[in-house]
Amino acid sequence: MQNKKLNILADENMPMVTEMFSSIGNVVRRSGREISQQDLVDQDVLLVRSITQVDAALLQATSVQFVGTATIGTDHIDQEYLAEQSIGFSNAPGCNAEAVVEYVLSVIFLLAERYGFDPKTRNFGIVGVGNVGGRLQKRLDKLGYNILLNDPIRAEQEPGFVDLDQLIQECDVICLHTPLTGQGPYPTRHLFSAKQLNALKPNCILLNAGRGPVIDNQALLKVSEKRPDLKLVLDVWEHEPWVDPKLAERCDIISPHIAGYSLDGKIRGTFMLYKALCQHLGIVCQHTLSDFLPSADLSELEQGDHSVLELMQRVYDPQQDDLLLRNTLTLPEPEQKAAFDHLRKQYRIRREFASLNVLQAKDPQQLEAIGFQLAEPG
């Protein structure tokens, strides 16, 4: 494969993919949900995101020799088939972890203001302590919050974890960041079914920014109808791109699977695949990540009378995504599905907290823990 100019087919929602990969091959971009076997007949490399199912049905009778997904999760990739066919593979673990963590923090501070509580008085539970969950743990630790962790795979080798029942019994805020698995000793599909949902503490905030089917959405609807005290935040949905309008009505914050959609994170994911393909081909990378990351465009801001939430919202406000998705829920199902994908495809430029330099911070330790840069005037 390294002796010729490659044919590369990429999801059209991968930023900078043409700029990064054009030195290696000819790049063609397609809608990720519409990529077909016919598209791949003469392609050497396939680069996708989470909405493309990559398996034998897609790859048989094609010339694909390398598959990359610009995502942390790999449940949409049949890795066993790729290995059997000697097809190279790489994902992008951690590429958008910072963005997902900042989505979670934005929502927590927003709900704290909406319902009048101090996050420091709440117990936080993280289910799935990998790239995203681990970084969320570090941020919450720096903020001085009380945290319980559930990750049965890590618990086999490490101390400091609790079982899921204990976490549910004790936590006021539960954040789900597990991969989606249906088999093995610790399957996560419907990890939160009726039993777990009914056991949630009064006024619990349940936030899923991992994989939709980790929560049984039908069970969640039934439980939430009986328990209006629950505060639900869903960025991912069991039957994407369809969103159940009745369930969405029960949620405080909804969004179209964009928690990790910072520009920084998406470019980072594309670059990780570029490095992986160079390694697979045995060639030297011609670029570095800094070649493609834009400079901070939010400049500096004196904190002044701005609250921490207001500083967050200068960078990212989840209420914008909530409103845009809610505006699609009255559409007929086919149109609603198309609108869901459109919101992802046409997602606005969103930076990460580190792109904002805060001057004269009132609580520097808190702002640094959240992820802002601190700067001195002049």
Active site residues: 211, 240, 257
DSSP state for residue 39 in the 8-state scheme: G
* Alpha carbons 117 and 141: distance in angstroms, whole number: 19
User: CB atoms < 10 A from the CB of 98, how many?
Assistant: 22
Separation of alpha carbons 376 and 62, rounded Å? 57
Per the listing, tokens 């907290």 go with 353
Output the CA–CA distances (angstroms, integers) from residue 46 to 52, 76, 226, in the order listed.
Answer: 10, 13, 46
Q: How far apart are CA 322 and CA 358, in angstroms?
A: 27
Rounded alpha-carbon distances, angstroms, from residue 140 to 48, 94, 116, 167, 232: 32, 18, 19, 16, 20
Strands 123-127 and 173-176, by their bridges, are parallel
Question: The tokens of 3 are what?
Answer: 């002796």
Q: How far, in Å, CA of 378 to CA of 361, rounded?
A: 15
Distance between CA 364 and CA 357 in Å, rounded? 11
Residue 21 has phi, psi (to 5 degrees) of: -95, -5
Residue type, 322: D
231 contacts: CB under 8 Å, gap ≥ 6: 111, 115, 203, 204, 205, 206, 252
Phi, then psi, of 320 in degrees rounded to 5: -65, -45
